[in-house]
Chains A and B, each alone.
Chain A
Amino acid sequence: MTPPPAEAAVTSAALAPATAREETPFRRFVADFAESKVAVGAFVVFVVIALLAIFANVIAPQNPYDLAQLDIMDGRMPPGTVGGAGFTYILGTDDQGRDMFSGILFGLRISLMVGAGSAFIAFIVGTSLGLLAAYFGGRTDTLIMRLVDLQLSFPSILVALMILAFLGKGILNVVIAIVVVEWAYYARTVRGTALVERRREYIEAAECLALSKPRIVFRHLLPNCLPPLIVILTMQVARAIALEATLSFLGLGVPVTEPSLGLLIANGYEYMLSGRYWISFYPGIALLVTIVVINLVGDQLRDVLNPRLRK
C-alpha cells in the first residue's frame, strides 16, 4: 500500500495546474522528471525497495517471526554462512538465529508502512487545517496559525518523546506522534499557497455560482495548491521513516513483535562492539538507501513542480 498513493497523487498534481493547456501534462511532467538521471535512478531503486517490502513474505527465504523456522544454533552467523535450514544467510543472522536478509525485508515493510502512512495522515490533517485557515481567515486563521507556530518552535524529537512518554510504545502511538510532529508543515505551506489562489478569478467565479463552501475549498482551491504539497509529502515520508527509526532505536517506537529497521539496528547494537557488525550494519544500509532515495526523488520533484523554475 506504500508507494501507490504518493504516485497517484503526483500524477494528479501534475495534471491539475495544466488542464487548461492542450498538451498532455503527464507526459511533460515525466519528461521534466527524467531530465535528471540521478532522480530516475533513485526512483527505480525506490520502486525496487517498495516491491521488496510488499512481497517480503514471498521473497524472504524465511519468516523471521515464525519461531518454528528459527534455529538458535544458527545465531550470530557471519554473512554467507549456510544454515541448518539449507539456505545461505547472505547477510548473516542475529542472536536468535534469524536470517538478517529476511528480517530486513519484513522490517522495511513496517518502516515504509509507518512512514508513508503517518506522513499521509499528517498530509490530510495539515492540508485541511491550512485550507480552513486560508479560506475563512480571521479568528480561525489566527488560532490555527498560532498552533502551527507553537508546534514548529519545538524540535520534532521532543514532541515525539513527550507523546510516547505518555502513550507508551506501539505502532499506532508512533503514527500519532509523527502526525502531531508533521501536520504543521503542510498547514503552513498550503495556507501560503491558498492565500494567493483564493484571490484568483476562478474562485470568484465559483463563489458567484453559489457553490457550497466545502465544494469550493476541496474541488477548486485544493487541486491548485497541490504541487508544493506533493514535494513536502515526499520529503516528510523520508523524515517520518527516519523519526520512526530513531524512536524505535531508542526503544520507544514499535513493539518487539513488529520490528522496523530502527529496532533491528538497536538489536544488533550490543554485538557491534564485539565485531559482529552485520546485525546492525545491513539494516542500517537499508534505512540509509531508503531515506536517501526518497530525498533524491523529492528534490527533483521540487524542481519539476516549481513554476518559477519552469522553462
Chain B
Amino acid sequence: MAQSKRAIVTGGTRGIGRAIVKELASRSCCGVLFSDVAFVYNSCEECVEEIRQEIKSPETRIFALKADASSYEDAEATVAEAIQKLGGVDILVNNAGITRDNLLLRMTPEEFDTVINVNLRSVYNYTRAVIRHMIKQRYGRIVNISSVVGLIGNPGQANYAASKAGIIGFTKSAAREFASRGITVNAVAPGFIDTEMTRQLNEKQRETLIQNIPLKRLGTPEDVARVVAFLCSDDAEYITGQVINVDGGMVMS
C-alpha cells in the first residue's frame, strides 16, 4: 500500500468540509492512501462523533480540534497540536466559511469583517502555520475552498464574494511562492451545493438557481470533496495556482 498522508481540514464538521474529511480519510486510490485527518471545527459538537461513526476505514486516525479559524493564535496552537498528533502534515484544506448575507445598503461593518476574518483571514492563518513544515519536507498540498460567487458576484453577498475572491488571489500568490519547494496551492470554487448554508434560500430562489445550472441539479458536498481529494493526490502534482469550478457548468471561463 502506498504511503499514507496527513491532512488538516478547517471547518470540518458540516457541509462540504465534512465530506472532505470523510473523502480524505476513506479514499484509497491514485497511489495514495489518505489515512489520518485532523479537522478543525468551531461549532456542532455532536457532529464530531457522527463523523467518527461515518468513517468506515478502521486504520484511519481522526482528530477533532476545536478552534476559532479567524484567530491567528488559535491556528498556531491548533496546527502545532495537529502536527504532533499526526506526526507531520502533508495536506491543508482551508474550508472554514460562513455567510452573513445582507444588501450593501444594510450591511454592517461587523457583518463585513466577520465574514472576511472567518473566510479569508483563516486561510492566511492556517497556511502560515503549516508552510514551514511543508517547505522543510519539500512537499505539500494546499487546497482552498473558494466559491463561484467569488468569480461572478452575488447580490447580498458582497462580503462573502470579497472573501472568496480574496482566496483566489491568495492561492495564486502562494502557488508562485512555494512552487520551487514541491508545494502546490489550488482553489476549488463550488457552485450551488446542497448544504445547510444554501438551505437558507427559499424554494423559488432554488428553482431559479437550478435553471441556470447546465447540469440541472444542485451539487453535493461529495462532488466537491472528490475534486479536493484529487488535487491533494500525487496525480495532481503538475497542477498549481488553479481555480477548479465544481458547479455543474454554472460558470464557464
Note whether A and B form a binding pair.
Answer: no
Contacts from A to B (Cβ < 8 Å) = none
